[in-house]
């Protein structure tokens, strides 16, 4: 830590000025009849309220250093992620929340465990200053990957149903007949993560690295943290999408490798 610098605190007046500028932006949208003014105002107000509330909550949790509170926060974050993913899917089947939850728990849990326990060796394991931000970053990216994976596997099977039926008629298994659908879904889920990794540090400076630098951390230390975070995000998205895609794929076929018309 470089103690030469101290992070400049923002007052609530500064935040109010920022909110006012967003309202002015919404006014511009209304002036140009873009139809985005209301959404801009509502999203700006929600951002303000939600983040202030989270700030007070996290301050309480960090000060208490209670493992049960910290575990509860992680569970709530996972639950909100599951609701968000399922809410974005048109074909909401009864098993979808369960397979989304299982997949995200496996992918995120593996990445968080490797990073916090094997690489950083944080002690105790529930140290909130590390665990909550890391879990939040990885979960947020896994959420996007999970959504894209389900949307793509659904659309691929529906659009290629005739092709799949032809393969099955020739004696192929469901896995063989739908392998291209699974590959397409996995590629789609990984594209945002790969794109971010391709331009990180050149086009964009990630929030975690920027925050560390602003707080006085050595840029090289911040960079090393960001590199390993990006790797763990990619691992989480990959594992989450792989499990979720295969579980979602199975609902379209009977145990006898027949395409279920009702599922389409």
pLDDT at 144: 94
Q: What is the pLDDT of residues 94-108, one digit of tens each?
A: 899 999 999 999 999
The residue to which tokens 């390993």 are assigned: 228
Q: What is the pLDDT of residues 30-69, one digit of tens each?
A: 777 777 888 888 888 888 898 899 889 888 888 888 899 8
Residue scoring higher pLDDT (185 or 64): 185
Q: What is the DSSP string of the chain?
A: --TT--PPPPPHHHHHHHHHHHHHHHHHHHHTT-S-HHHHHHHHHHHHHHHHHHHHHHHHHHHHT-HHHHHHHHHHHHHHHHHHHHHT-SS--TTHHHHHHHHHHHHHHHHHHIIIIIIS--SSTT-HHHHHHHHHHHHHHHHHHHHHHHHHHHHHHHHTHHHHHHHHHTT--HHHHTHHHHHHHHHHHHHHHHHHHHHBTTTB--HHHHHHHHTT--HHHHHHHHHHHHHHHHHHHHHHHHHHHHHHHHTTB-TTS-B-TTT-
pLDDT at 233: 94
Rounded CA separation 220/231 (Å): 17
For 8, phi then psi, to 5°, come to: -75, 125
> Mean pLDDT, the chain, as a whole number?
88
pLDDT at 108: 96
pLDDT at 204: 65
pLDDT at 2: 46
25-34, 86-95, 108-117 — which one is most confidently predicted on average? 108-117
Q: What is the pLDDT of residues 205-248, one digit of tens each?
A: 677 777 777 777 788 888 888 899 999 999 999 999 999 999 99
63-72, 83-92, 138-147, 213-222 — which one is most confidently predicted on average? 138-147
pLDDT at 64: 85
As a whole-number percent, the residues of the chain with pLDDT over 90 amount to: 48
Helices 37-64, 128-159: crossing angle, 10 deg rounding: 140
pLDDT at 1: 44
pLDDT at 220: 86
Q: Domain-by-domain residue ranges, the chain?
A: 1-64, 66-250
């Amino acid at each position: 830590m470089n103690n030469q610098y101290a992070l400049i605190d923002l007052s609530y007046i500064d935040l109010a000025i920022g909110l006012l500028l967003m309202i002015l932006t919404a006014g511009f949208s209304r002036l140009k009849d873009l139809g985005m003014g209301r959404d801009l105002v509502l999203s700006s107000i929600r951002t303000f309220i939600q983040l202030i509330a989270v700030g007070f909550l996290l301050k309480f949790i960090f000060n208490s250093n209670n493992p049960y509170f910290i575990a509860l926060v992680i569970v709530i974050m996972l639950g909100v992620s599951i609701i968000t993913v399922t809410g974005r899917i048109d074909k909401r089947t009864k098993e979808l929340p369960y397979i989304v939850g299982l997949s995200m728990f496996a992918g995120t849990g593996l990445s968080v465990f490797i990073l916090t326990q094997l690489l950083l060796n944080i002690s105790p394991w529930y140290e909130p200053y590390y665990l909550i931000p890391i879990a939040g970053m990885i979960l947020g990216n896994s959420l996007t990957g999970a959504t894209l994976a389900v949307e793509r596997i659904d659309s691929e099977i529906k659009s290629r149903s005739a092709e799949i039926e032809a393969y099955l008629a020739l004696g192929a298994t469901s896995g063989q007949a739908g392998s291209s659908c699974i590959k397409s879904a996995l590629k789609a889920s990984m594209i945002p993560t790969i794109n971010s990794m391709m331009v990180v540090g050149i086009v964009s400076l990630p929030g975690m690295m920027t925050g560390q630098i602003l707080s006085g951390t050595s840029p090289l230390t911040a960079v090393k943290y960001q590199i390993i975070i990006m790797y763990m995000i990619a691992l989480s998205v990959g594992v989450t999408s792989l499990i979720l895609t295969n579980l979602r794929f199975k609902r379209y076929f009977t145990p006898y490798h027949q395409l279920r018309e009702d599922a389409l």
